[in-house]
Amino acid sequence: MEWMQGLDASHVTGVPGLSRAAQLKALGNGVVPQQAEAAIRHLLARAQGARAAA
């Protein structure tokens, strides 16, 4: 699942002692970095548009 989220291999699955269920929970609750970047870009564009209109 890590590769689908754009994370390095073993980012979560390489943690010693972490059960498979805990790994899936950690990865399932994570924010995909690409989604976070898209959200920030969208918010910045809206903020810049609001300033230009004012």
Q: What is the pLDDT along the chain (54 residues), one digit of tens a residue?
A: 788 777 888 988 999 999 999 998 888 877 777 888 999 999 999 999 877 776
Instruction: At 26, give phi and psi (nearest 5°).
Output: -65, -45
The pTM score is: 0.51
Print the domain residue range for 31. Answer: 3-53
Alpha helices in 1-54 (DSSP H): 20-28, 33-53
Closest CA to 22 of 4, 36, 1: 1
Cα–Cα distance between 33 and 6 in angstroms, integer? 7
> What token pair was written down for 19?
């059960």
> What token pair was written down for 6?
């754009």
Q: How many domains does the chain have?
A: 1
